[in-house]
Structure 1
């Protein structure tokens, strides 16, 4: 095991990402130590996996590289010690992302119908209507926070539909909850244990209502599927329903929200790329993959080795934490030419921002659909984007998120 020194970068440190993802540092370490030992001040350390091919190899072997809660789960911290959100709660059960096959596969079979074409019939038209209404409310040529005006509400309104939430629950509630769930290192999202307890209390109250209602009056929504899932022949427990609802809320929101925001920043910096979209909106069919690759909104996922093995020429011991840095792999120069460049002409690339293998995101196509709709409608009315100020970023090693995006939409 490599001996850590104070000069070696700590990819776990959330302060490393406050000014932006350190892509140059990732590239340097990827070239020198692609499977890199990262010491932890508060833990045993972990292997940071930085190459595309190595992450794919790990992702194809879920039993060798476990996501199971009992082994620590899917985050750098150990979920079996500090809970799913790192807040120490005990009332939240195990989401299926923190379960290995074959049980993980059973959960996916229950959830896949929620994003099947038949279940989503007409959803693109409804997303278009909602997006058009959001854009109609944005004054052209004036400063606006696009996170609050478009990036956050669009996917969260879609989630309200997928869960068939009661009308009194709006996107603002979901926005506050999801930020709290993934914002363990950001004092704006985790102001105090008391504040977090209040957030969880309001969320649990809704979850109990949904769970009871969907058990007695099942519908065609995602909450119904999760509430009525049967795993190993047994009905799912309430606490595990809560864990999976948190997973669905975060997963279906953060990727779309932050890919949209980062892409607007990219189009502001590269107006010729935006003009390509305006000239030929059909390019969005494949351009959305470049948007997500370049943003890499979820920066990593964690695994734990269940046996001694070798990865990228590096010996990995049983019990070692293995952290897959998608944000590094999506800039791997052996896979993507000129990887730091935002280029919507790359076509239908195979990035890792939605994961790979057993844990690939089941909602990826819905996320891409929302990005296509948003930028198609923006192209109809917006000539360009002008940043008013640099956005504030999440203090996080997990989510590549923007708290705000003050921008002017230039009429065209």
Structure 2
């Protein structure tokens, strides 16, 4: 194994100014299964290449996501809790379960996202986007995150949960706190986090009891009334799964949208390609997710000695899958650093891979297609005015703001 002097990939400060693409490129080339020492832990393996990440993802019993084995984040969920805020009343979400339990949960959730259950949701999303876009001032600097990137997926989530879409600002604050364990803006103090969790638990308790009493066809009802091996899911696990739905259904779409506007500002010819031919949006949406890679990593734990990419992995070792590296793998995506809305070929891992691939990926891409289709009617170009403020996170490739001018058609 090559010895490369690299920064600690776990350090959230590494990503504050931008993704260190050069570091990931060097590791893909010279040390694709890289040992990352830790000052506060035993260290972990970082997997960089697309093929190796897919291989690991397809073996969930060998490479575990289960809570009792540490869960799906770099930190150990069974030691510091799901949100990294210490012990709490939050139970285990199904992303932190292995098959067959994980598979059973997916069977409860998937019907809620089926075309038959969603009905004319595309029409409702289009109506929502039309209203949001109509309220964006054109030709002057605006912060696009609170005007479009954040409300769109959160309003869709509110609909799926069967709650008022007017709750989206509160859902926004909660989800930022859940994933922002390393960002002082989102985690101002333990007391503030306790208050946030208390508010969320109260919301969750009311929702849980209402859906248990009168089930409907929404996702909240499915999660509240799920049974695993004949045993009803407890409230704690309902809360864990509710957090998973909110974070998973929000972060990918929100940050893919923001990063894509920034990409269109830097590559205006790509925006013109969409304005000229809307069919390009079919390939553009996956490219937006690949290029943004809004979820930077997921973690697994080796349940037996294994070999990944020629590297020996010991039983019990943590294995971190860097999606953000795999989505720029030159062996899979020609000219991988280029934003190309007409790109076709291999599937990105922006939604994960294998057993744990995101159940809402099609809905996320649908929202991206609709949003940029509607924007193409009104906007000739995007002009980002200043570098956005980024999440201080090793997990979410997130933008807190995006100051941009939308030039009117």
TM-score grouping bracket, smaller chain normalisation: over 0.9
Give the deviation of 1:3 after TM superposition.
11
Residue 115 of structure 2 aligns to a residue whose secondary structure is: coil
1:113-128 to 2 correspondences below 5 Å: 113-128=111-126
Please tell me whether residue 108 in structure 1 is matched to residue 91 in structure 2.
no
Match of 2:222 among 216, 222, 225: 225
Q: Once the two structures are superposed, what CA deviation does each residue of 1:166-191 show, in whole Å capped at 9, x if it has no partner? A: 46x51100000000000000000000
Cα displacement (A) at 1:85? 0.3
Q: Secondary structure at the match of 1:344?
A: coil
Q: Are 2:6 and 2:23, in contact at CA under 8 Å, matched by a contact in 1?
A: no
Q: Please state how far the C-alpha of 1:282 moved relative to its aligned partner.
A: 1.2
**Helix, strand or coil at the partner of 2:23:** helix
Alpha-carbon distance in 2 for matches of 1:108, 1:310: 29
Of 11, 14, 23, 1:13 maps to: 11
Q: Secondary structure at the match of 1:277?
A: helix
- Cα distance in 2, alignment partners of residues 267 and 311 from structure 1: 36
Q: TM-score, normalised by structure 1?
A: 0.98
Query: How far apart, CA to CA, are the structure 2 residues paired with 1:166 and 1:9?
Result: 44
Preserved CA contact (<8 Å) 1:290 1:349: no
Task: Tell me how far apart the structure 2 counterparts of residues 150 and 355 of structure 1 sit (CA, whole Å).
Answer: 25
Q: Distance in 1 between matches of 2:295 and 2:41?
A: 22
Unaligned runs of 5+ in 1: none
* 2:84 matches 1:86: yes
Structure-1 residue corresponding to 2:403: 406
Alignment-derived partner of residue 376 in structure 1: 373
Query: 1:41: Cα distance to partner?
Result: 1.1
Question: 2:127 and 2:385 mapped to 1: Cα distance?
Answer: 28
Consecutive unaligned residues in structure 2, runs of 5 or more: none
Quick one: distance in 2 between partners of 1:316 and 1:81? Answer: 23
* Equivalent pair of 1:286/1:348 in contact (CA under 8 Å): no
SS at match of 2:380: strand
Are the equivalent residues in 2 in contact too, given 1:14–1:185 (CA < 8 A)? yes
Aligned to 1:309: 306
Which residue number corresponds to residue 208 of structure 2?
211
- Map Cα deviations across residues 85-107 of structure 1 (whole Å, 9 max, x no partner): 00013200000000000000000
Q: Distance in 2 between matches of 1:4 and 1:89?
A: 38
Displacement, 1:9? 2.1
- Counterpart in the other structure of 2:49: 51
1:389 shift after superposition: 1.2
- Name the residue aligned to 1:96: 94
Q: Could you tell me how far 1:8 is from its partner in structure 2? A: 3.1
2:37 and 2:193 mapped to 1: Cα distance? Answer: 29
Q: Of the candidates 32, 35, 47, which is equivalent to residue 34 of structure 1?
A: 32
**CA displacement, residues 221-271 of structure 1 (integer Å, 9 cap, x when unaligned):** 000000000001100000000000000000000000000000000000111
> Paired residue for 1:25, among 19, 23, 26?
23
CA distance in 2, matches of 1:312, 1:387: 40
Alignment match, 2:75: 77
- 1:333, 1:172 → 2: CA distance? 39
Other structure's SS at 1:55 match: helix
* Superposed structure 1 runs of 4+ greater than 4 Å apart: 2-5
What corresponds to 1:328 in structure 2? 325
Note the C-alpha offset of 1:349: 4.1
**Structure 2: distance between partners of 1:350 and 1:226:** 29
Gap change, CA 1:319 and 1:384, over 3 Å in 2: same
Instruction: Please give the residue correspondences for 1:326-365 in structure 2 after superposition, counting only pairs within 5 Å.
Output: 326-347=323-344, 349-365=346-362
Does the 8 Å CA contact 1:92/1:243 hold for their aligned counterparts? yes
**Residue range with higher mean Cα deviation, 82-91 or 249-258:** 82-91
Shift of residue 348, structure 1, vs aligned partner: 5.5
**Aligned residue number for residue 244 of structure 2:** 247
Is 1:267 the counterpart of 2:264 in the alignment? yes
Contact in 2 for aligned 1:4/1:39 (Cα 8 Å) = no
Aligned to 1:174, which of 171, 175, 182?
171
Q: Deviations over 1:97-119 (max 9, x none)?
A: 00000000000000001100011
CA RMSD of aligned residues (A): 1.2
